[in-house]
Amino acid sequence: MKQNVQWKQAIPGLMIAAAILLLSLAGINYMGQESFVRTTLSGLTIGALYFMVASGLTIIFGLMDVLNFAHGAMFMTGAYIGWQFYTNPTFLFGLFPLILAFMLGIATSALWLKYTTRMKISASWQPRIRNLLILGGCIVGIWGIWGLDILGLAETALVAAMMAGNPLGEISAQEPLSIFWMRPVLLALAGMLIAFASARPGDHTQIVPKGKQWSTWIQVAALFLLTIIATIVRESGPIAVLTMNANLRFFLALIIGAAAGAGLGTIVEVSLIRPLYSRPFYIVLVTLGIGYVLREVVQLLWGPVAYAMARPPAFAQPGKAENLFAWLSGNNLTVDILGVTFPSYRIFIIVLGVLMLIGLAILMRYSRLGMIIRAGVQDRQMVEALGINVRRIFSIVFAMGIGLAALGGIGAAPFIPVQPNMGDVYQLQGFIVVVIGGMGSYGGAAIGALLLGMARAFGDFLCLKFSLSPAIAEASTVIIMAIILLVRPSGLLGKKE
């Protein structure tokens, strides 16, 4: 019986593998090896970009049943943060202490539960008090950033991008520490007020973790220490970053972009998404609003124009490497792949997508967090009954999903223009990938991204060859989704409800 179930689960994968093999043989015979290899590599690049967006979408929906319509904006935000860090990080160093301070306040949410559950507050007053606390947190937060020259800090990257690699002369002076130190204090207080509100004072139905909350205290202490360090190095930090090796700076930009996305995801989940889990339609409206706000904020800071992020030296040296091993020593702009000259940075995008898939697979299958997430997908109430803080798991999952999107954004930044609407197209394709692969299945998302990437690349080739409208290639992704849903309504690897 078990073998029959495993065989049925393997059928979609075998069918896809057989279809890919047959189409590959037909493509080589019809297109020729060079055109086929070039188009295939382009399809893999596009598929990797789609997966970077869809991977976060599918794990968020799989556990939390949250359709995040701000996911494309998070993708775009990661690109801008990484571009800013790589070009001139003065803006980030100026705001980083404030962000850490706010996260420090938010991190105290679990510590308040022991007290809020003991409060005797009538049911009618509980939502009013929460709203007042959130309003107070917003007022204190606005007070904390009032008068800060944020636009002046953001201009440093714009000027540096136009100075052809001489950003050191455009590092603007930060606000004096004697004035600035109050801002992190106020932001931490604002975060604590919102965290206290999220702990729902007077609600006795909440599960209070037993024992001493060492992990939460360690997290709070780490954020407190990081806030102090970030406040001290606001002026020296940008100079140290810009004088380091450019390849190392790009690697750090990937980490900073993903971490900033995860932090933003945590703040959004705790302050805006968590109170609305019982009203999913409102979550849709809130995430749509978040996406709109993020795009407007980006346009306010950096304008509506598109920027090109310079490729790191590892992918920018003139010449063509004979193979991937030769590229490791030459760091050439292009690489010879089976007789096809292909940009080396596109190879990096493909590798980044594969590494994200492997990392997700290891996390979901072999870690305790992955076990809890998979159990939560099957039976959320049972996981709560076991004493696991599902709310914290929700925050981690949401932060991880947004972090993956932000990582995809900074990874794509040297390949596609950095502009406010760059995430919209990828968000639409990410939703299609999730539907094709099956809701909550990261493996299905990988297969769906590969199918859509190949469909788009080969569709563009056929449209160019036969002088057809490019809209046909764009519509191919929707056609594939419709066909798959007709055959398997739950998606390729989705489970029937």
Higher pLDDT, 78 or 107: 78
The pLDDT, as a whole number, for residue 20 is 64
Section 268-286 average pLDDT = 83
Diameter of the chain measured on Cα atoms: 76
Whether pLDDT at 249 is above 90: yes
The partner residues of 320 in beta bridges, in order of sequence, read 334
Section 38-65 average pLDDT = 85
pLDDT band at residue 56 under the 50/70/90 scheme: confident
**Buried/exposed 425-454: b ≥16 CB within 10 Å, e otherwise:** bbbebbbbbbbbbbbbbbbbbbbbbbbbbb
Section 294-318 average pLDDT = 87
| Mean predicted lDDT score pLDDT of the chain | 81
* Full-model pTM: 0.84
Whether pLDDT at 216 is above 90: no
Whether pLDDT at 84 is above 80: yes
**Who contacts 118 (Cβ-Cβ below 8 Å, separation ≥6)?**
none
Higher pLDDT, 330 or 162: 330
Place of tokens 């991190």: 107
Section 237-249 average pLDDT = 88
What spatial distance separates the first Cα and last Cα of the chain, rounded to whole Å?
A: 21
Interval 319-352: pLDDT, tens: 788 877 778 777 888 888 877 888 889 999 999 9
The pLDDT, as a whole number, for residue 79 is 93
Q: Is the CB of residue 90 less than 8 Å from the CB of residue 238? A: yes
Section 136-148 average pLDDT = 90
Whether pLDDT at 15 is above 90: no
pLDDT band at residue 255 under the 50/70/90 scheme: very high
Interval 395-415: pLDDT, tens: 888 899 999 999 999 999 988
Whether pLDDT at 382 is above 80: no
* Region of poorest pLDDT, from 11-20, 56-65, 166-175, 192-201: 166-175
Section 215-219 average pLDDT = 82
The pLDDT, as a whole number, for residue 377 is 63
Whether pLDDT at 31 is above 80: no
The pLDDT, as a whole number, for residue 80 is 93
The pLDDT, as a whole number, for residue 90 is 85
Whether pLDDT at 230 is above 60: yes
Residue 151: phi, psi to the nearest 5?
A: -65, -35
Section 83-101 average pLDDT = 88
The strands making up 340-343's β-sheet, listed across from edge to edge, are 317-321, 332-337, 340-343
* Region of poorest pLDDT, from 34-43, 144-153, 365-374, 381-390: 381-390
Q: Pick the closest to residue 452 from 427, 422, 467, 430 (CA basis).
A: 430
Interval 450-482: pLDDT, tens: 888 888 888 888 787 777 777 777 777 888 888
The pLDDT, as a whole number, for residue 441 is 78
Q: In the chain, what are the domain boundaries?
A: 45-313+339-487
Q: Pick the closest to residue 153 from 262, 41, 234, 274 (CA basis).
A: 234
Whether pLDDT at 173 is above 70: no
The pLDDT, as a whole number, for residue 186 is 93
Section 365-385 average pLDDT = 75
Section 47-63 average pLDDT = 85
Q: Is the CB of residue 391 less than 8 Å from the CB of residue 198? A: no
